[in-house]
Amino acid sequence: MGTETLDFVADETVQIFGGYGFSSDYEVERVYRDQRVNRIFEGTNEINRLLITDMLMKRSMKGELDLIPAAQRVLDEVLGPTTREETDPGRPLGEEMELLEGAKKVVLLVAGSAVRRYLQALAEEQEIVGALSNLVMEVYATESMLLRTQKSLGRRGPEAVGSECDAARIYLFAALDRMESDARRALARIAEGDELRTQLSLLRRFLRRTPRDVIGLRRRLASCALELNRYPFS
């Protein structure tokens, strides 16, 4: 995730510099060339994606990680009432934390469905394994971001952390869109017919959300950076 984010940032920076981005007179040209190797050495990103899910599955099989039982609990839970608890209006980023819990259930839904379908042969389904790793990375990054923002809110107050909250919501809703796409693609490989339709229904339930005005949030964040004339999260 880090190396792919770096790739995005370097590419956008060259775009901002325009033609100067290709000139060795500017540092960004060197950054653009150098960052490419990071997705290759120390194991390619594709190999590392296989290792993420493989490690989680092995630890679960050994009883070191409560992954498969947790996946079963999610499936048992959906057989019950579909009522949803009201978000505590006084909880900082309460709605966003609730969406994070739904995102975690998506990981368990896909992982549990994949294990039941393929068992030990899951390692041969590399596209599903890669999608699962994407889901894991998104949840890890999203939870880290939200917890960090909550900590800032508690320490500095809402007025001083407005930009951080905007950035958190921008990332969260983009991450949920990516997760929904990855999960849908994986489930379509794992199941079919009525079973697939049921799983897709669960996916929609876990990620049920009202779209935010992400365009407006991005504009507000950009205005903050322009006003400060620097990176706003130093």
> Active-site residue numbers?
42
The alpha carbon of residue 204 and the mean position of all alpha carbons in its chain are separated, in whole angstroms, by 16
Q: Are 36 and 116 in contact (CB under 8 A)?
A: no
- Pick from 28, 29, 30, 38: nearest CA to 6: 38
Q: Are 214 and 173 in contact (CB under 8 A)?
A: yes
Structure tokens at 152: 């800032």
